[in-house]
Chains A and B, each alone.
Chain A
Amino acid sequence: MLSCKDVTKLVSESMDRSLPLGKRVGVRLHLLICRFCERYRRQILLLRETARHLAHAGEMPGEPFPETLSPEARERIRRSLSAP
């Protein structure tokens, strides 16, 4: 019988490899009856979706990445590129 501690670990692992059948079934059954572990699963999936969203959003200028090169860095890089 899997504990919640085991299940959180396996839920994460299942995002990185396919679990052996026995474990997969055990996790699925546990999630049906355990509200907390099901929440944990949904929340770490949300982390994945957020990370993917950030990767896409990063391609566009501005929000959510207002950062720009500082004037000093810009100047330093420009100089290094024109050095012989």
Chain B
Amino acid sequence: MAIPASSNPSEWVDRYGDYLFRYAMLRLRDRAAAEDAVQETFLAALSNRGTFSGDSSEATWLVGVLKHKIADHYRRQAREAPLEGADLAEHPDAGNFDGSGHWTAGPSGWGGNPADLYRQGKFLDRFRECLSGLSPNHANAFTLREIEGLDTAEICKVLNVTETNLWVILHRARSLLRRCLETRWFGATAGKGT
């Protein structure tokens, strides 16, 4: 199979390096891990150049390889720090409910138009900081579900958890993220409105 003229590995780093790095940073949240993933991606692509069909763009092909490297990283983290039963038992907002399960301190109003909100670079920075603050498994589950849009069965395979546990993990991740943003963004901008 003819390899397209654009596929010259000596140009890959300049042409795709930053793009792949940004892609990995959003999903791995760690500079060293993201750099390693990019390096592994190029090396794997180099030894599998025959699998590049030319049907997709070269960038798309490389992102496909990178996705596998990211999933490998998630699998490794799930193996190294398996989720404990106790970790899943407690409701993430437990401290905000009374004995009968009603809010003692309910969510405060964030106000404004959501569409405007996520166009603000600073809001996205806080969002990513809050995501980085979660445990790796929680952040990875959230990333696979909400950034990648994978269905729960696929995520269970990567993280090696049951579907019931995944629902709990996702609920916890969303609640912790919600609370973190309430403090770091809406707290700072003095939450108003409903």
A interface vs B, CB < 8 Å?
A: 3-6, 8-9, 12-13, 15-17, 35-37, 39-40, 43-44, 46-55, 57-58, 61, 63-65, 67-70, 73-74, 76-78, 80-82
A16→B170 contact, CB < 8 A: yes
Contact with A along B55-82 (1 / 0, CB 8 A): 0000000000000000000000000000
B interface vs A, CB < 8 Å?
A: 9-10, 12-13, 17-19, 21-23, 25-26, 31, 35, 38-39, 42-43, 46, 91, 93-94, 97, 100-103, 106-110, 114-115, 117-119, 121, 123-125, 127-128, 142-143, 145-149, 152, 163, 166-167, 170-171, 174-175, 177-178, 181-182, 194
Chain B residues, CB < 8 A from A52: 146-147, 149
B91→A9 contact, CB < 8 A: yes
Tell which of A17, A39, A50, A81 touches B127, judged by Cβ atoms closer than 8 Å: A50
Chain B residues, CB < 8 A from A40: 106-107, 178
A63→B43 CA distance, assembly (Å): 28
Chain B residues, CB < 8 A from A51: 142-143, 146-147
A40→B175 CA distance, assembly (Å): 9
A17→B101 contact, CB < 8 A: no
Max chain A Cβ within 10 angstroms of own Cβ: one of B25, B39, B123, B142 = B39
- B130 to A, closest residue via Cβ: A47
How many residue pairs at the A-B interface have CB separations less than 8 Å? 155
| Residue contacts A-B, CB under 8 angstroms, 29 given | A3-B97, A3-B102, A4-B102, A5-B91, A8-B93, A15-B170, A16-B166, A17-B163, A39-B108, A39-B109, A39-B194, A43-B110, A43-B178, A47-B127, A47-B174, A47-B181, A50-B124, A51-B146, A54-B26, A55-B147, A58-B22, A67-B18, A67-B31, A73-B39, A74-B13, A77-B13, A77-B38, A81-B9, A81-B46
Nearest chain A CB to B127 CB, angstrom units: 6
B13→A64 contact, CB < 8 A: no
